[in-house]
């Protein structure tokens, strides 16, 4: 028996209209409203063009290699060792270029507060008057590509004059030597100088052991940076 709908027309007469006709009409109307692309094809009909991986833009992932600075060296933070108010921060310089890099002397520091203003501080080469054991004289170094050198930044968190406001450095830039471009360190915390107004640096020394990672403990990072 066909699928029909019974309705009442004029005069009360009953008539039947097939439901199938109405259904087909609705389907036809929907098909006519389907979106098409510039070629007149309905999206989803037929194969779609795949993007070319060679020409598609890509986003660098977390494992993407670091870009070597124009100077040919990269400087990074290795952690801070702290005891009895004395702080020693290990830093590493790696020759990330493709040619030997000559190095001699001490790291050059610039300190900034939380608002980015520079902090005036006296940099003591060898850390005399701050701590002992960091006063070996500098020697000329030649770092082959991939070779590293280490140094330490030393200070004391002391407040010996209550009339002077204590200083914290939120940012630190370190250069391989005076006059060289500085690189900001990705530190875990500020440099808490108190009101001592001085900070020490040891001379660069060539490292022969494995490179420590910043994820190691602070003491391990400094010990590794200073053990050649």
Tell me the average confidence (pLDDT) per consecutive run of 10 residues in the chain, 228 residues long. Answer: 47 44 39 44 47 42 71 94 89 96 96 93 93 92 96 91 86 95 92 91 85 47 49
Residue 114, CB half-sphere, CA atoms under 13 Å: how many? 5
Q: Is 12 within the bounds of a domain? A: no
* Structural tokens at position 130: 């701050």
Name the residue range of residue 97's domain: 73-226
Question: What's residue 212's pLDDT?
Answer: 52
Question: What's residue 167's pLDDT?
Answer: 87
Question: What's residue 55's pLDDT?
Answer: 41
Q: Is 31 within the bounds of a domain? A: no
- Provide long-range contacts, Cβ within 8 A and 24+ apart, for 134-140: 134/88, 134/200, 134/201, 134/202, 135/202, 136/202, 136/203, 136/205, 137/203, 138/104, 138/105, 138/106, 138/203, 138/204, 139/104, 139/203, 139/205, 140/102, 140/103, 140/104
Domain count, the chain: 1
Q: Are strands 148-156 and 86-95 parallel, antiparallel or unpaired?
A: antiparallel
Distances (CA, A) of 27 to 5, 16, 36, 101: 19, 21, 17, 75
Q: Can you tell me whether residue 91 is helix, strand or coil?
A: strand
Q: Is 56 within the bounds of a domain? A: no
* Structural tokens at position 165: 């406001």
Q: Is 153 within the bounds of a domain? A: yes
Chain centroid offset of residue 80 CA:
19
Q: Is 172 within the bounds of a domain? A: yes
Q: Does residue 152 contact residue 107 with C-beta atoms inside 8 Å?
A: no
Global pTM reads 0.65
Q: Is 92 within the bounds of a domain? A: yes
Question: What's residue 163's pLDDT?
Answer: 84
């Amino acid at each position: 028996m066909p699928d029909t709908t019974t309705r009442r027309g004029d005069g009360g007469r009953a008539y039947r209209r097939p439901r199938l006709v109405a259904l087909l009409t609705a389907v036809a109307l929907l098909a006519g409203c389907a979106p098409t692309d510039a070629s007149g094809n309905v999206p989803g009909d037929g194969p779609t063009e795949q993007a070319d991986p060679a020409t598609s833009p890509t986003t660098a992932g977390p494992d993407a290699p670091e870009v070597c600075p124009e100077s040919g060296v990269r400087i990074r933070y290795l952690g801070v060792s702290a005891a009895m108010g004395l702080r020693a921060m290990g830093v590493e310089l790696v020759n990330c270029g493709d040619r030997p890099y000559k190095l001699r002397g001490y790291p050059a520091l610039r300190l900034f507060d939380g608002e980015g203003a520079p902090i005036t501080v006296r940099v003591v080469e060898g850390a005399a008057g701050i701590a002992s054991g960091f006063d070996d004289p500098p020697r000329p170094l030649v770092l082959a590509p991939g070779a590293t050198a280490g140094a330490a930044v030393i200070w004391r968190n002391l407040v010996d004059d209550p009339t002077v406001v204590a200083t914290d450095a939120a940012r630190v830039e370190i250069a391989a030597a005076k006059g060289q471009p500085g690189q900001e360190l990705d530190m875990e915390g500020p440099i808490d100088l108190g009101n001592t107004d001085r900070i020490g640096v040891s001379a660069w020394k060539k490292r022969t052991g494995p490179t420590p990672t910043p994820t190691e403990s602070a003491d391990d990072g400094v010990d590794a940076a200073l053990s050649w």
